[in-house]
Each structure stands twice: as C-alpha cells, then as structure tokens.
Amino acid sequence: MTISTDPRLVAFSGGVSLDFDNTVILQALLFTLLLLILKPLLLDPMLRIFALREQKTEGEKATARGFQEKAGELLERYEQELGRVAEVANKERERLRIETTKLETEIMREAREATARIIEEGRKRIESEVNAIQFQLGRESEKTSELIVERVLGRGAN
C-alpha cells in the first residue's frame, strides 16, 4: 500500500506515512509463537502462584477473623468476670468497713472505760493524799499553835 506524496494530500491526511510489508506479519507470527511457548512455561505457573497466594490470603483473613471473634468473646467474658470480681470486692470492702467500724467503736468504748477508771483512781488517790496532807497539816498546826501558846504565855521559854 502506497500513500501518495502529493503535498496537498499529505497535509490533508495528517502527514503520517505507514508502510506495511512482510515484517509485520513475521513479527505477529513470532509474537504468537512466543506467547504459545511462554504461556505454559511462565504465565500459567505465575497465575497458579497468584491464585494460590490469593487463596492463602483469604484463608489467613478468615483465620484472623476467627481469632478476632474469639478475642471478642474472651474480652466479653473477661469484662463480665471483672464486673463480678468488682462486685465481690465491693461487698467484701463494705463488710470490712462495717467490721472495722464495730471494732473501732469497741476500742473507743474500752478506751473511754479505761480512761474513766484511771481518772477515778487518780481522783481517789488525790483525795486520799489530800486527806493525808490535811491530817498532817492539822497535826502540824496543833503543834504550832501549842508552841505559839507556850511562847506567848512564857511557859516554855527554856
């Protein structure tokens, strides 16, 4: 096929010149032959590898989804157990608080009783000491008054 070289026609046709000969047919035959040789040797094994990789990827994704569901169930059970443990801990804490309050009340009562006993014993001791001091002062004041009377009257001027 020959395209005219007339400048008016070349400008009108866009200026592209194509020359088809036997090499185009030879190249098409070589491409087809190469494709027929490479398909079973290279393309088919690669496509099998890609398909196998896709199957494994999907299998691993399914396994991961299974693990994720199992992890979700375990997390839910964990949270339920944690809630139950927190409830038991709250009950135990309340029981210990009540027990501690009772113990504190008992200790305070015993401390008050002991304090009252100590104060009462101290009062009794102070009272007995005051009485003993007053008795001693009474005897001393009698001796002193007798001594004053004797000196005033002049009897004991020895």
Q: Does the residue 147 lie in any domain?
A: no
Structure confidence at residue 3 (pLDDT): 52
Helix, strand, or coil (residue 133): helix
Q: Does the residue 130 lie in any domain?
A: yes
d(CA 118, CA 66): 75
Q: What is the token pair recorded at 43?
A: 């393309």
Domain, as residue range, for 94: 7-137
- Note the pTM of the prediction, 2 decimals: 0.42
Q: Does the residue 44 lie in any domain?
A: yes
Element (H, E) at 93: helix 44-153
d(CA 60, CA 67): 10
Structure confidence at residue 71 (pLDDT): 94
Structure confidence at residue 122 (pLDDT): 94
Domains in the chain, number = 1
The average pLDDT across 129-148 equals: 90
Q: Render pLDDT for 91-132 as a digit per residue (tens, 0 to 9).
A: 999 999 999 999 999 999 999 999 999 999 999 999 999 999
Structure confidence at residue 6 (pLDDT): 56
Structure confidence at residue 18 (pLDDT): 66
Q: Does the residue 158 lie in any domain?
A: no
Q: Render pLDDT for 7-56 as a digit per residue (tens, 0 to 9).
A: 555 555 566 676 778 888 999 999 999 999 999 999 999 999 999 999 99
Structure confidence at residue 150 (pLDDT): 86
Contact 39, 48 (CB under 8 A): no
Structure confidence at residue 8 (pLDDT): 54
In angstroms, how far is CA 86 from the centroid of its own chain? 14
Count of CB atoms situated within 10 Å of the CB of 10: 14
Count of CB atoms situated within 10 Å of the CB of 150: 13
Contact 4, 10 (CB under 8 A): yes
Query: What is the DSSP annotation of 30-88?
Result: HHHHHHHHHIIIIIHHHHHHHHHHHHHHHHHHHHHHHHHHHHHHHHHHHHHHHHHHHHH
